[in-house]
C-alpha cells in the first residue's frame, strides 16, 4: 500500500503546508486533545510540528500523516510513525484526534492502516508505542491493536508505558 491510504471511513496522506490552519483548529489548539501531549500549541508551534513531519517524510518515507474523514472531507487528526529517538532503531506509532471525533473508532481504524503500511511497504520488523499511564483511551487503542506492554520508560520528560508490536501481527486474526 502506498500513500494516500484509504480505510473504510478515513484517508491518510503526507502533510502539505496548506494543512496548517485546519490542523491548528481541530487538534493543536484543542486543550483536551493536547493535555497529555505537552499542551496546546500556537500557530507557529503547529507550523513547526507540520514542517517536522514533512521533513521526516522526505528523509524516511514515513511520518505523522493528517487523517481526513472521507464523508466530510475534513482534517480530523493525525496518525503515523516517528523515530522514538534520533539515534535509536525504534519507530513508534502515534495518533491524536480533535475532541469532537473521539469515541468513533477512528484511532483504531487509522492505526490499523498505519501498522499495515509499516509492516508492509515499509518493511519494518517491529513497532513500539508509548503512552502515559493515565491515558486510558490510548492504552485501550493499543491493546485492541494487539500491542503488548513491556514496562515503563522515561521518554520526553515523563514516565510512559512502553508497548511493542511484532511483525507477525500481519498474520494474526482480527
Ligand atoms: C486517545 C485517542 C487517540 C483515542 O481516539 P478514539 O478515536 O476515540 O479511539 P477509538 O474509538 O479507536 O478507541 C478508544 C477506546 O478506548 C476506550 N476509552 C476511551 N476513553 C476511555 C477511558 N477514559 N477509560 C477507559 N476506556 C476508554 C473506548 O471505549 C474505546 O474502546 P472500545 O472500542 O473497547 O469501546 C483520542 O482520545 C485522542 O486523540 N486523545 C488525545 C491525544 C492522545 O492522547 N493521543 C495518544 C497519545 S499516546
In ligand 1, which atom is closest to the CA atom of 144?
34
User: What is the Cα–Cα distance from 105 to 6, expressed in whole angstroms?
Assistant: 15
- Residue 59 Cα to ligand 1 midpoint, Å, equals 30
State how many domains the chain has.
1
pLDDT in tens, 94-149: 999 999 999 999 999 999 999 999 999 999 999 999 999 999 999 999 999 999 99
The model's confidence at residue 87, banded by pLDDT at 50, 70 and 90, is confident
In ligand 1, which atom is closest to the CA atom of 130?
48
Q: Residue 1: CB within 6 Å of ligand 1?
A: no
> Count of alpha carbons within 13 Å of 91, Cβ hemisphere only?
22
CATH number at residue 118: 3.40.630.30
Q: Residue 95: CB within 6 Å of ligand 1?
A: yes
Q: Residue 137: CB within 6 Å of ligand 1?
A: yes
pLDDT in tens, 26-79: 999 999 999 999 999 999 999 999 999 999 999 999 999 999 999 999 999 999
Residue 113 included in any domain: yes
Quick one: pLDDT at residue 2? 78
- Residue 9 Cα to ligand 1 midpoint, Å, equals 17
**In this structure, how many other beta carbons lie within 10 angstroms of the beta carbon of residue 106?**
21
Residue 169 included in any domain: no
Residue 48 included in any domain: yes
Q: Residue 39: CB within 6 Å of ligand 1?
A: no
Which residue shows C-alpha cell 490552519?
21
Q: What is the mean pLDDT of the chain?
A: 96
Asked whether the whole model's pTM tops 0.85, one would answer: yes
Look up the domain containing 64 and give its range: 5-126
**CA atoms 97, 48, 46, 130: torsion sign:** positive
Contacts of 9 (CB under 8 A, 6+ apart): 69, 70, 71, 106, 109
Amino acid at each position: 500500500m502506498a500513500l494516500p491510504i484509504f480505510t473504510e471511513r478515513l484517508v491518510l496522506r503526507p502533510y502539505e503546508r496548506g494543512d496548517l490552519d485546519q490542523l491548528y483548529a481541530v487538534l493543536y489548539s484543542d486543550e483536551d486533545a493536547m493535555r497529555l501531549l505537552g499542551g496546546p500549541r500556537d500557530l507557529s508551534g503547529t507550523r513547526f510540528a507540520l514542517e517536522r513531519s514533512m521533513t521526516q517524510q522526505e528523509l524516511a518515507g514515513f511520518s505523522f500523516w493528517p487523517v481526513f474523514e472521507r464523508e466530510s472531507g475534513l482534517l480530523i487528526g493525525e496518525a503515523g510513525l516517528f523515530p522514538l529517538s534520533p539515534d535509536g532503531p525504534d519507530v513508534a506509532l502515534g495518533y491524536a484526534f480533535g475532541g469532537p471525533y473521539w469515541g468513533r473508532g477512528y484511532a483504531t481504524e487509522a492505526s490499523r492502516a498505519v501498522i499495515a503500511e509499516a509492516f508492509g511497504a515499509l518493511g519494518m520488523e517491529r513497532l513500539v508505542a508509548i503512552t502515559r499511564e493515565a491515558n486510558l483511551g490510548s492504552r485501550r487503542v493499543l491493546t485492541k491493536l494487539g500491542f503488548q506492554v513491556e514496562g515503563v520508560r522515561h521518554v520526553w520528560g515523563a514516565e510512559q508505558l512502553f508497548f511493542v508490536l511484532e511483525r507477525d501481527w500481519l498474520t494474526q486474526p482480527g
